Amino acid sequence: MSEVTEKIRAIIEEKRDAFFEISDQIWECPEIRFEETKSSAYSADFMEKEGFTVERGVADIPTAFTATFGNKGPVIGILGEYDALPGLSQKAGVTEYDPVERDGHGHGCGHNLLGVGAMSAAVAVKEYLEKENIEGTVKYFGCPAEESGYAKTYMVKARLFDDVDAAFSWHPHYLNSLFNGPSLAVIHATFTFKGKSSHASASPELGRSALDAVELMNIGANYMREHMIDEARVHYAVTNTGGKSPNVVQRDAEVSYFVRAPRAEQARSLFKRLTKIAEGAVLMTETEMTYKVEGACSNLVQNSVLDKLLHQNMNALETERYTEEEVSKAKEYFNTLNDEDKNFAENLTGKTLAEVFKERPLVHETAPYREAPEYAKGSGSTDVGSVSWVVPTAQLVAATWSFGTPFHTWQVVSQGTLSYAKKGMLYAGESIASSVIDLFNNPEVIEDAKKELVEREAGPENYKSLLPDEQYTAPILEEE
């Protein structure tokens, strides 16, 4: 372990109780996209008390903020999140499904850990700069609504990253690895149809069904799937059926769509085809249609320069940090998984390692470095992708859950306050903070990372937001 990593670890360890406390606070008040009033306030207040200059409500998003320390040298951004998921309420530390509140929210993606782990990195960097008298600026980005709202895309559009030289992020997982695989660009839009109500039996000829239009649009989208690239994804949910009475022709109906593809331009092209299908449904039903883009984000642009630096620090900080009691608890969660979940994890790690992790389902090893493939079927989406187009960006995943735990499940929520989850959270913070200090000590690495961004045909001059040109603020805020 280098002198830098030792000092970073000592700084974070000294404040571990404070980090654990705020992580629990955010876990206890799960708030979904753009509604993270308490979570954002807890986080911003914490950073203010730690000596950062905090700007709240950035990018016209009330729950977004920045926290900055320093005014000289390179500017390094650290990205944090704190939004929860709907319908995933669950009691902590319980190895069977037991919601706190029926249909309530829960941190089913571990963002209570994500935000605080990123804050721990920013705090450690600040203290190191002060103690060692090094020039540099660290900027923490409090980012709401990663789960389908994609606030970072709005923050990029508001030009909050114009002065940032490099950025780091992380995500909870059951492995320790770089998060440098491909992600899918996505456009999330809601299509609203309006028709004319009438008695469905006495005068059906007078009615024009908005629900018919929704169904016809969905049929058209299903047929489109045969004629798009394999890596793309189109999925939907009917969010308003227009009522519960079959004898009333539905005047209003609504459907929400996600359109995903490996590259932003592919997602944009596919979305245009989808809007034509919606227009066709209008023609067939003599209804009216409007749509709004709820959010969008671009695909991730990998940066091997920063990836290698981050991976080097992950390896340097690797240690066996779990007690027998923690391993025993993790086994209980592992035993709640079905064979399909376990097989998915095995395919990700390989059978040999999977057998080890099944017996000791808390992973402390760091996966070997590998170059990211250009495409990967079944990838998800993250608004870190939008940031990675304008700033060299690297991410890691850190083991905070029992091996094999699927994302967006009650098991994730339940493990979100446990001691081993918090240990993984601080490991992520230590790895990021050490990498940031390395950049301040070796500014030529920043220049190499910027060159790679241009070589990958990205950079501010090549970035085009997937949001409509006129859309600067999240639509959900306009409704409120």
pLDDT digits (tens, 9 = 90+) for 242-262: 999 999 999 999 999 999 999
Domain count, the chain: 2
pLDDT above 60 (res 378): no
pLDDT-based confidence at residue 2 (cuts at 50, 70, 90):
confident
Instruction: Please say which residue of 297, 330, 347 terminates a domain.
Output: 297
Closest C-alpha to 403, from 62, 127, 126, 173? 173
- Average pLDDT (31-50) is 97
pLDDT-based confidence at residue 376 (cuts at 50, 70, 90):
low
Query: What is the rounded distance in angstroms from the CA atom of residue 290 to the CA atom of residue 468?
Result: 14
- Average pLDDT (381-392) is 96
Q: Is residue 24 part of a domain?
A: yes
The helix/strand/coil state of 127 is helix
Lowest mean pLDDT among 217-226, 368-377, 433-442, 452-461: 368-377
Residues 305 and 210 in one domain: no
Residues 242 and 275 in one domain: yes
Query: What is the rounded distance in angstroms from the CA atom of residue 278 to the CA atom of residue 42?
Result: 42
Residues 320 and 458 in one domain: yes
Strands (E), 287-365: 288-297
Residues 103 and 154 in one domain: yes
pLDDT above 80 (res 303): yes
Average pLDDT across the chain, whole number: 94
Closest C-alpha to 251, from 305, 213, 216, 225? 213
The CATH number linked to 141 is 3.40.630.10
pTM above 0.85, yes or no: yes
pLDDT 10s digits, 399-435: 999 999 999 999 999 999 999 999 999 999 999 999 9
Q: Is residue 471 part of a domain?
A: no
pLDDT 10s digits, 175-206: 999 998 889 999 999 999 999 999 999 999 99
Q: Which residues pair with 55 in a beta bridge?
A: 66
Q: Is residue 418 part of a domain?
A: yes
Residue bearing the bigger pLDDT, 357 or 20: 20
Residue bearing the bigger pLDDT, 470 or 369: 369
Instruction: Give the pLDDT confidence score for residue 375 in this predicted structure.
Output: 57
| Helix pair 419-441, 3-14: axis angle to 10 deg | 140
Q: Is residue 475 part of a domain?
A: no
Strand (E) or helix (H) holding 399:
strand 393-399
- Average pLDDT (314-338) is 93
Say if CB 121 and CB 67 are below 8 A apart. Answer: no
Instruction: Give the pLDDT confidence score for residue 318 in this predicted structure.
Output: 83
Type of residue found at 325: E
- Average pLDDT (71-89) is 96
Q: Is residue 215 part of a domain?
A: yes
Residues 54 and 163 in one domain: yes
Residues 158 and 206 in one domain: no
Q: Is residue 480 part of a domain?
A: no
- Average pLDDT (43-57) is 98
pLDDT above 70 (res 475): no
Residues 132 and 87 in one domain: yes
pLDDT-based confidence at residue 380 (cuts at 50, 70, 90):
confident
Instruction: Give the pLDDT confidence score for residue 479 in this predicted structure.
Output: 43
Q: Which residues pair with 397 in a beta bridge?
A: 171, 177
- Average pLDDT (25-38) is 96
Q: Is residue 34 part of a domain?
A: yes
Query: What is the rounded distance in angstroms from the CA atom of residue 381 to the CA atom of residue 368?
Result: 23
Query: What is the rounded distance in angstroms from the CA atom of residue 96 to the CA atom of residue 333?
Result: 9
The CA-based angle 363-364-366, given to 5 degrees, is 100
Instruction: Please say which residue of 238, 268, 297 terminates a domain.
Output: 297
**Percent of the chain residues topping a pLDDT of 70:** 98
Instruction: Give the pLDDT confidence score for residue 466 in this predicted structure.
Output: 95
Which one of 57-61, 341-345, 474-478 scores highest in mean pLDDT?
57-61
pLDDT-based confidence at residue 477 (cuts at 50, 70, 90):
low
**Percent of the chain residues topping a pLDDT of 90:** 88
Instruction: Please say which residue of 242, 270, 297 terminates a domain.
Output: 297
pLDDT above 50 (res 34): yes
Residues 211 and 173 in one domain: no
pLDDT-based confidence at residue 92 (cuts at 50, 70, 90):
very high
- Average pLDDT (7-18) is 96
pLDDT above 90 (res 347): no
The pairing of beta strand 393-399 with beta strand 177-178: antiparallel
Residues 389 and 308 in one domain: yes
pLDDT 10s digits, 128-146: 999 999 999 999 999 999 9
- Average pLDDT (53-80) is 96
Q: Is residue 474 part of a domain?
A: no
Residues 257 and 362 in one domain: no
pLDDT above 50 (res 287): yes
The helix/strand/coil state of 153 is helix
The CATH number linked to 229 is 3.30.70.360
Type of residue found at 203: S
Closest C-alpha to 435, from 390, 393, 398, 399? 393
Q: How many CB atoms lie within 10 A of CB 316?
A: 18
> Phi/psi of residue 418, each to 5°?
-75, 160
pLDDT 10s digits, 335-345: 999 999 999 88
Residues 130 and 251 in one domain: no
**Boundaries of domain holding 62:** 3-183+299-462
Helix, strand, coil fractions of the chain, as percent rounded to 5: 45, 20, 35
Residues 361 and 394 in one domain: yes
Instruction: Give the pLDDT confidence score for residue 88 in this predicted structure.
Output: 97
pLDDT above 50 (res 480): no
Instruction: Give the pLDDT confidence score for residue 319 in this predicted structure.
Output: 82
pLDDT-based confidence at residue 361 (cuts at 50, 70, 90):
very high
Closest C-alpha to 35, from 151, 126, 122, 203? 151
